[in-house]
């Protein structure tokens, strides 16, 4: 198991390096620089700025410097928010993103798994059809559509929940963003879970368990749950990535001060340093989460480890 973990870890490093290199050169070779404003800067100011950010050095030297900085955990300077480095801005936003994303992840997994099991047990009955409809809605309705509708209904018309903002992390402020972020994943997970559960429930070992006289709850808990979870677990890796993408929208709509919102603002303002740094950070985060999921998968399904 440890060897497997180590091999997976090693194989992510070249990926990260290639992705980082590609992003770096795409951004540097782009026409126009971060200091091309509406009015051209005086040459002296410009030269000073470029010297400050080492933009006057040969490209390859800039690249090596950046690579070195990243290895030391410094994601470089922000060109627009000059008072904060990229790492500092990410550190400020990260707790908010992790809290909302983590809660949505847990919520989506629990609700999705339970809904999937219910759908499988009540297959083709009313509960299952209602679930199928909800899954369809969750898959088709984009989060940027659900969010304003929920804001309107629960925030403005019913006046139950605040429309946006962090509010010191109060539960009421978290309900809407977490729900919106979790919904599409609830749909995905329950669909996967339902399919896998139906398949497992019709397998021989479940029939044997039933023949032994076990009741349904015990069969599901002791025998069916673990094998049925494997497709769900293999979805959790990509789900982390989708949650991250979703957090861009959710943080923007609900005005949460997370990394996603900084990233969107940086991209809209063409803050090269911040965009590059955030993308690198996101890649590391996603690859680490995927690694964890891979290990979880290997634990659930021992056949994977040998590969």
- Checking 53-60 for CB contacts under 8 A at 24+ apart, the result is 53/77, 53/79, 53/273, 59/25, 59/28
Identify which range of 8-16, 78-86, 124-132, 173-181 contacts another protein by CB under 8 A: 8-16
166 is an interface residue for another protein by CB under 8 A:
no
Alpha-carbon Rg for the chain, nearest whole angstrom, is 24
Is 33 or 210 the residue whose CB approaches another protein more closely?
A: 33
Contact with another protein (CB under 8 A): which of 13, 133, 145, 170?
Answer: 145
| Smallest separation, CB 259 to another protein (Å) | 12
Q: Can you tell me the distance from the alpha carbon of 32 to that of 284, in angstroms, rounded to the nearest whole number?
A: 28
Segment 86-105, which members bind another protein (CB under 8 A)?
none
CA distance 301 to 204: 18
Q: How many residues bind another protein (CB under 8 A)?
A: 46
Give the Cβ contact number of residue 10 at 10 Å.
9
Residues 4, 10, 16: CA angle, nearest 5 degrees: 135
The answer to whether 47 contacts another protein (rule: CB under 8 A) is: no
Residues in the chain: 307
Separation of alpha carbons 57 and 162, rounded Å: 50
Q: How far is the CB of 219 from another protein (least distance, A)?
A: 24
290 forms part of the interface with another protein (CB under 8 A): yes
Contact status: 206 vs another protein (CB under 8 A): no
Q: Is 248 in the site for another protein (CB under 8 A)?
A: yes
Q: How many CA atoms lie within 13 A of 123 on its CB side?
A: 13
Which residues are CB-contacts of 191 (< 8 A; sequence separation ≥ 6)? Answer: 116, 135
CB of 214 to another protein, least distance (A): 29
Q: Tell me the C-alpha distance between 20 and 13, whole Å.
A: 11
CB of 208 to another protein, least distance (A): 27
CB 224 within 8 A of CB 201: yes
Q: Which of 99, 242, 301, 304 binds another protein (CB under 8 A)?
A: 242
174-203 residues near another protein, rule: CB under 8 A: 195
For the bound state, the minimum distance from the C-beta of residue 119 to another protein, rounded and expressed in Å, comes to: 14
Residue 233 CB contacts under 8 Å (≥ 6 apart), including other chains: 293, 296, 297, 300
One of 141, 175, 206, 225 touching another protein (CB under 8 A): 141
Q: Which of 70, 131, 250, 279 binds another protein (CB under 8 A)?
A: 279
The site for another protein (CB under 8 A) is made up of: 11-12, 15, 19, 23, 26-27, 30, 136, 139-142, 144-145, 147-149, 151-152, 156, 195, 237-238, 241-242, 244-245, 248-249, 252-253, 263-264, 267-268, 270, 272, 275-276, 279, 282-283, 286-287, 290
């Amino acid at each position: 198991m440890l060897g497997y973990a180590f091999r997976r870890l090693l194989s992510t490093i070249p990926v990260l390096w290639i992705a980082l290199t590609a992003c770096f050169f795409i951004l540097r070779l782009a026409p126009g620089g971060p200091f091309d404003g509406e009015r051209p800067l005086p040459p002296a100011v410009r030269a000073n700025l470029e010297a400050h950010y080492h933009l006057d050095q040969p490209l390859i030297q800039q690249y090596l410097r950046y690579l070195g900085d990243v290895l030391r955990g410094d994601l470089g300077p922000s060109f627009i928010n000059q008072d904060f480095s990229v790492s500092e801005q990410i550190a400020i936003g990260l707790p908010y993103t992790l809290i909302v994303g983590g809660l949505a992840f847990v919520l989506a997994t629990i609700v999705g798994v339970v809904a999937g099991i219910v759908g499988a047990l009540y297959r083709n009955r009313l509960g299952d059809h209602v679930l199928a409809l909800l899954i369809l809605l969750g898959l088709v309705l984009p989060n940027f559509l659900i969010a304003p509708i929920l804001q309107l209904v629960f925030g403005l018309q019913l006046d139950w929940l605040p429309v946006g903002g962090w509010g010191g992390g109060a539960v009421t402020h978290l309900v809407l963003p977490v729900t919106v972020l979790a919904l599409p994943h609830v749909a995905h997970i329950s669909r996967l879970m339902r399919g896998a559960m139906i398949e497992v429930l019709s397998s021989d070992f479940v029939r044997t368990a039933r023949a032994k006289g076990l009741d349904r709850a015990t069969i599901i808990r002791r025998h069916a749950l673990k094998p049925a979870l494997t497709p769900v677990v293999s979805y959790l890796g990509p789900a982390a990535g989708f949650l991250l993408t979703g957090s861009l929208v959710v943080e923007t709509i609900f005005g949460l001060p997370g990394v996603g919102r900084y990233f969107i603002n940086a991209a809209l303002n063409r803050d090269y340093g911040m965009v590059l740094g955030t993308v690198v950070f996101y890649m590391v985060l996603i690859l680490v989460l995927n690694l964890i999921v891979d290990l979880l998968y290997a634990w659930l399904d021992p056949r994977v480890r040998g590969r």
